[in-house]
Structure 1
Amino acid sequence: MESQELSGKEPDGRDVRPGRRRRRILITSVATLAVLVLGGSVAAYAINSGSDTFSFFGKTDVSGTQTPGSGQKGAAGPSAKAKGAPKQSIAPPADVAALNLPRIPWDGGPAYYSKFPKAANAGWTDPNFFPIGVWYESVLSQDDIDKDKAAGLNTYVELTDDSDMGLINSNGMHAMTSKVHKGSGGETIGWLVNDEVDMWGGAGTSTWNGKFPEAGIPCTSGKYDCGYDAMKKLTAALPSGDGRFLYANYGKGVMFWQEDADASRFVNSYTSVTSNDEYWYTDPDLCEGSEGPTIGIRTTAACRRAANYGRTMDKMRRLDALDGKLQAIYAFVEVGHPFTDAKAPTITADQIGGAVMNSLIHEARGILYFNHNFSGSCISQHVLRDQCGKAVRPAVSELDRHITSLAPVLNTESYKWQFNKQLDTMLKAHDGSYYIFAMPGRTGGTGKQRLTLPKGVAGSSAEVMFENRSVPISNGAITDSFAKEYSYHIYKITP
C-alpha cells in the first residue's frame, strides 16, 4: 500500500489529514478546556522511548482456546507465542435448551477477562456485567458519578488529569486511561494505548517522531506511514505485566483506506480490546468520497442507517479473526453533534437506540458513547450530564438499563440462524428461554416482517421485551412490524 503523502489528499482531492473534522478534547480542569483539533487523536501523552519492548496480552483462539500472544509475523508487535504457556479452554456458558445450530465465533464473553487480574477482580468476569462506557470525561464530584450511574454507565475510557480516581473506585466504576493517574488503583482495569493512530500515523513502519497531529507531521519520513512504530512506542510507555488489558480505538484508516493486511496489523498486534468509531448518523463526510462509497454505500439514505454500526462491527470482527484469535470488540456510538460542521446532522434518541442495538446484534462486547458536542445548538463536553443532552439522556438511560438487565443473555454465545433476509438478527439461549434480537438490515426491513424460527424454538407466543406486549407464534414464525430503519424488537420465547 502506498503511504499517504504530506498533502494528505484523498483520490478525489478532499483533505483527509487528521483533525479536519472531528475534535477530541483534553479537559484539564472544570474551568479550562484545551480543545485540540485532532480528528480523533488523544494527545499529550508522555512517551518513554527508553524501551523497545512492551507487554502484549493474548487474545482468544477462534476455537475457544486462550493464547498468550497474537501478533502477526512481521508486525511491530510480538510475532511469536510465549513458549511453554499453558492453553486455557474458555467454554461458553451452558444453555439449558441448546439448539442443533452452528455458533457465532466466540471470544469467551466475560471469561475472556479472566486472564487480566485487575479486570477479573473488578467483576468483569461476572455474566451480569456488561461494559457501558463514555469517552473522555472528568470526574470531580459525587454528583458527576451519580449522574453517570443514573445514565447506566459503568466505565470511563480516558479521564482528565484532575479526575478523582479514589471517588471512581469507591463508587464501583471502572476506567481505562492513557497513563497512571494520581490515586489510580483497582478502578483502572485497562490501559488506553491511543486513539485513531491508523488515521494520524498511517499504516507503515517508518519512525514516529513523537509528535501528535496538532504539532505537525508525526513521521520522520514526512509522510503518514509510521503508525506501527507509534503504536509500539505508545504501548511501551504504559505499565506492563500489571494485570490490566491494553485497549485502542481505530478509525477510517482501518475501516476504509487501508488494505486488509495493513488494517489487520493495527487490529491484531497491540491490544486485547479494540473498537472503531464511525459515526454514521452525523459524520458530514462518511457518505462521500473514499469512505462510505468504497464499501458500496452510495446514497445518503443508505448511509444514515443504524445497520451501518453493525457493518463497522463486522469489519472489525473480520479483521480481528485474520490472525486466528479473537479479542473483545466494542462499539462506539455518538450521543450528540461530534463534528465542528454546524450543518452536520445531530443524532436523535431513536437513532442512538438503533445504533446501539445493531452493534449488539453484530456481537459488540461493550458499548462506548462519544459524549461531546463540538457544534450545533448546544456545545458540551458532558452531553449525558447537562442540558445539552436533555433530548437523548432519558432514552439512553433506559436503553442502558435494558442492556444491563440483558447482560446474562448478551454474555452467551450466539447461534447462527437467518430469520429474515431483510432483518439483522441475533439468537441466544439463556436460563430456559430463547432471545431473538431483530431490526431492519442495510436495505429494507421496515413494515410488517415474518421471522421464521429454527427447529427447536417453539411456543404459543413470544414476549416482546420492554414493550408490554406479546406476539403469537404461528406456523413456526413470528410476524411483527418495524416502523423505522432504527426500530428494533427483542423477543423472549419460553417453551
Structure 2
Amino acid sequence: MKKPPMKLPMIRMNNSTRALRMRLIQLALVALVVGGFTPPGGALSGPGAIVQDPLPDGVTLQQVDGGPDFYGRFSPTLPGSNTFFPLGVWFESVLTSADVDQDRSAGLNMYVQLTEDSDPGLIRAQGLHALPSSTSPAASGYLLSDEVDMWAGAGSNIWTGHGQGEGEICTPPGSGCGFTVQEALSAKLPSRALKYANYGKGVTFQIKNPEAARFVNTYQDVVSADNYWFTDPYICSWVEGGAVFAAGRDLTDAECRTAAHYGWTVDRVRSLVQPQGSKPVWAFVEVGHPFSEQDSLTITAPQIRAAVWSSIIHGARGIVYFNHNFGGPCVSQHVLREDCGAAVRPTVTAVNQQITGLAPVLNSPSVRGLVTASGGGVDLSVKAHDGHFYVLAASTSAGRQQISFSVACGSPLTAQVLDENRAIPISANSFTDTFEDSNSVHIYQLNGGNTCGLGLE
C-alpha cells in the first residue's frame, strides 16, 4: 500500500521575507555574471533581470559572408553546421586510413584537390571531406580550377584544352581565355554541387577590377586567392605589393613580409564579391618553402599562426594550407606529414584546434562598431555568440606595443584571453594588453555585463 504524499508546511512570507529572497536572487545572478556566465539571450526576464545597456548608434550586427546556411544550398556539399569551419590541405595524396589519421591529428578536416591515385571514398569513410577536381560519389564538392587568371588570363577567346606548361593555351596565341576555361570546366561538374576556385595574382594585382570581378562572381560558389607574403620572392616588387602599399616602389622586407597582408588579400577578394557578402571567401597560407628561387624564404610557425588569424579577422570563412616545399633545405610534397614540417606542425595543429573549438563563434555574426583600439596598430574583429562578445585582435606593427580596447556598451567585467591562461580586468568599458610583435594575436572572451539588448544566443 502506497503511502500518501507528505505535505510540506507552507511558509508564509511577509514583505521583509520577500525582499530578502529577491535580494538573494539578485546577488546570485551577479555572482554568476562575475564568474563568466551570461544566460542565453544575454538577459533574464522577470525579477533580477540583467539591465541591458542601450545599443549605441553605429553598433550593428553583420552576418557572415554567404549567411549561416550557405552550404545547405548545394549537393554534394560541406557540412552546414556552425561547428564546422573548413581547414583544408592543398593537393595531398590519400592512399590509406593512416594518411587520414595523420592529417586529422593536425586538425585538418578537408582536402582541396587530390592526387590521381587518392581514394576519396576513404576520406569520406573517415569523416573528412574532399573537394577533388574530378567527379566522385564521395566528394563534398569540387575544385573548379587553380590560378586560371594567371595561366589563361582574362578573356573569352578559344581554349585549346591545354593547361599550364602543356603548350599554347588560348587561340589566338597570347590572348586571354580564362573565362572560357571556367565555363568549360564548370560544365563538366554536377550542376548543384558546391564549386570552389582559387585565383592568384591576376585577381589581386594584375588585371582590371571588372575582369577580376567576373572571375570572382561568375563561375564558383566559394572563392580564394593565394598571395604568399612571407615567402614569395616577387610579391614585394613595385608591380605587386609595392603598387598597393607604396605608390609603385619596391617594398622593404619589413614593409612587405607581414601577416596583416594576408588579411589584405582576403579584403581584396571580398571587395570584388557582388552582392557584397554573398559568398564565402577562403584564404591560402603556406606552411613551408613554396618557391624554388634562391632568394625565396621559409615561413615560420609564428608567421603561420599570425597569417591564419589575420585572414579570419578580415573575414575568411575557411583556410587552405599550401603543403609543398619546392625549394629550401627540405623539398617535400607532404610538409605537414613529414620531418620537413616538424618545426611548424605543432603550431598548425594548435591553431586548427583553436579554430575548431571556436567554430560556432567564427560562424556567428560580427558586431561592427562595438570595440575600438588605440595606442598602436591592430586589426580586430568582434563576434557575438551565446551571450558573449569575442574580440579577435592581431598586431599590425613590428615592435612591442600596449593596446587599449574600448567597448561601446555592455559593461563587461573581464576579458578572458583564450588559451593563454589569463584574464584582464575591464574598468569603465576599457582594458589594455601587450602585443609583442607583428605576429602577436590575442583572442578575448568578454565576460559579465550584458549584451546591449542584442538578444544573443
For this structure pair, what is the TM-score category when the shorter chain's length is used for normalisation? 0.7 to 0.9
Partner SS, residue 127 of structure 2: coil
For residue 109 of structure 1, report the CA deviation from its aligned partner.
4.2
2:304 to 352, 367, 372: 352
Matched, 1:454 2:408: yes
TM-superposed deviation, 1:213: 1.9
Q: In the alignment, what sits opposite 1:148? A: 103
CA distance in 2, matches of 1:110, 1:410: 11
Tell me the secondary structure at the aligned position of residue 223 of structure 1.
Answer: coil
Larger RCO, structure (CA 8 Å, separation 6 or more): 2
Contact 2:413 2:447 in 1 (8 A): no
Q: Cα 1:171–1:476, aligned 2, differ >3 Å: closer, same or farther?
A: same
The answer to whether residue 416 in structure 2 is matched with residue 463 in structure 1 is yes
Between 1:309-318 and 1:219-228, the stretch displaced more is 219-228
Q: 1:163 aligns with which of 91, 115, 118?
A: 118
Match of 1:478 among 431, 437, 446: 431
Deviations 1:176-197 (A, max 9, x none): 11112xxx33x41111111011
One-letter identity of the residue aligned with 2:324:
H
- Please state how far the C-alpha of 1:105 moved relative to its aligned partner: 5.6
What TM-score, normalized by structure 2, do the two folds share? 0.82
Distance 1:455 1:126 in 2: 30
The number of residue pairs the alignment matches comes to 390
Matching residue of 1:4? none
Does the CA contact (< 8 Å) of 2:61 and 2:368 recur in 1?
Answer: yes
Aligned to 1:293: 242
Preserved CA contact (<8 Å) 2:270 2:277: no
- Give the match for residue 114 of structure 1: 72
State the shift of 1:156 in Å.
Answer: 0.3
- 3-state SS of paired residue (1:401): helix
- The structural deviation recorded for 1:292 is 0.4
- Are positions 1:214 and 2:165 aligned together? yes
Give the residue type in structure 2 aligned to 1:455: C
**Deviation, structure 1 residue 233:** 1.1
Q: 1:400 aligns with which of 347, 352, 355?
A: 352
Equivalent in 204, 216, 231 of residue 267 of structure 1:
216
The 1:207/1:325 distance shift into structure 2, 3 A limit, reads farther
Shift in Å, 1:259: 1.3
| Equivalent residue, structure 2, for 1:9 | none
Contact 1:96-1:429 at 8 Å conserved across structures: no
Separation of aligned partners in 2, 1:379 and 1:110: 40
Deviation at 1:283, TM superposition (A): 0.3
Cα displacement (A) at 1:118: 2.5
Deviation at 1:107? 2.6
Cα pair 1:96 1:430 within 8 Å, conserved:
no
The answer to whether residue 180 in structure 2 is matched with residue 226 in structure 1 is no
* TM-score (ref. length: structure 1): 0.76
Of residues 147, 154, 157, the one that matches 1:196 is 147
Q: Which amino acid aligns with 1:347?
A: I
Where structure 2 has 5 or more consecutive residues not aligned to the other structure, the ranges are: 1-39, 44-51, 449-457
Deviation at 1:459, TM superposition (A): 2.3
Match for 1:261: what amino acid?
Answer: P
What displacement does 1:106 show?
3.4
SS in 1 for 2:360: helix
- CA deviation string 1:121-141 (max 9, x = no partner): x6x111111110000000011
Q: In structure 2, the residue corresponding to 1:381 is in which secondary structure?
A: coil
- Is 1:419 aligned to 2:372, yes or no? yes
In structure 1, the partner of 2:268 is: 315
**What is the CA-CA distance between 1:224 and the residue it aligns to?**
4.0
Structure with bigger gyration radius: 2
Conservation of the 8 A alpha-carbon contact between 2:64 and 2:277: no
1:268 maps to a residue whose letter is: N
| 1:250 maps to which of 173, 176, 199 | 199
Q: Deviations over 1:204-262 (max 9, x none)?
A: 12111111120123111211411111111111122323xx2111000000000111111
CA contact (8 A) 1:217 1:224 kept: no
CA contact under 8 A between 1:423 and 1:445: conserved in structure 2? no
Query: 1 CA distance for matches of 2:399 and 2:314?
Result: 16
